[in-house]
Amino acid sequence: MKTLKLPSGKSIPVLGQGTWRMGEDAAKRRTEIDGLSLGLDLGMNLIDTAEMYGEGGAEKVVAEAIEGRREEVFLVSKVYPHNASAKGAVEACKRSLERLKTDYLDLYLLHWPGSVALSETLAAFQTLKKEGLILDYGVSNFDLKGMQKAMSLTGGYEIATNQVMYNLVNRGIEWDLLPWSAENGLPIMSYSPIESSPRDQKGFLDRPALTGIAEQHNASAAQIAIAWLIQQGVVVIPKASDPKHIRENRAALDIVLSTDEITLLDQAFPPPQRRMPLAMR
């Protein structure tokens, strides 16, 4: 798997698997576990989860999928902002580890900015790192101002990544956050790469610019959306439970879009012309 470098020098895979909405429905559990296992078999070895997803249910699904193969996996989880105090984040991480049946996370993120002082969260992250319970830490849903403030705090310079919503229809971060992150050597993780819910995907995956390029590559529109993100130099974590989707997402890694195709996508999904508020789900 192709990787990017985190500021710590560790590598992060560019394509992984999301788990939002997993672990919520017992009837879907087997499909979700098998789906994540298939993704791992295909080499999509980053798994992104959170204590929020299914209120711990997604982490339990992940535990079953990674059983016996933990060392293959780059495992990411996130702490709820209301749990992110100096003591609370350490305890929340330990609960996540228990549900995940592992003794460390590759990356632990603050899920979104909350009311607990970030300095407390960073202190907890440093404690967890010292204890070897997490190898790296970062944030999610932080805009440029939030990142600049975070980086100025004790432990802020060790922030490894910022996970944000970024896809062809939400390109706001290209105005400021994406170039700033690149200058500072922080890879961005793109969530909702294909617009998340089937309802939101309507009117996106059937746009002629996408379907036209997809046809040229004998691929699907979703694959083109993922390939475009990978070419933007970010980490991409599509969620899929349907085996057809999982295979397609892995194959998107091998699609190379030409300069002309990138221009066509820019015309159909224009980059920002001014600063935009950070898109969030």
Contact predicate 76/47, CB 8 Å = yes
Q: What angle separates helix 208-216 from helix 221-231, to the nearest 10 degrees?
A: 90
Min dist. Cβ of residue 242 to ligand NAP (A): 4
Which residue's CB is nearer to ligand NAP, number 195 or number 261? 195
Three-state SS annotation for 204-268: CCCCHHHHHHHHHCCCCHHHHHHHHHHHCCCEECCCCCCHHHHHHHHHHCCCCCCHHHHHHHHHH
Which residue's CB is nearer to ligand NAP, number 23 or number 88? 23
Min dist. Cβ of residue 136 to ligand NAP (A): 16
Min dist. Cβ of residue 51 to ligand NAP (A): 12
The 3-state DSSP class for residue 45 equals coil
Contact predicate 170/177, CB 8 Å = no
Element (H, E) at 96: helix 88-100
Which residue's CB is nearer to ligand NAP, number 130 or number 201? 201
Among 102, 107, 255, 268, smallest CA distance to 187 is for: 107
Min dist. Cβ of residue 96 to ligand NAP (A): 14
Element (H, E) at 151: helix 144-152
Min dist. Cβ of residue 125 to ligand NAP (A): 16
Which residue's CB is nearer to ligand NAP, number 217 or number 239? 239
Contacts to ligand NAP by CB under 6 A? 18-20, 48, 111-112, 140-141, 163, 191-196, 198, 220, 222, 237-242, 245, 248-249, 281
Which residue's CB is nearer to ligand NAP, number 191 or number 269? 191
Element (H, E) at 113: none
Min dist. Cβ of residue 183 to ligand NAP (A): 22
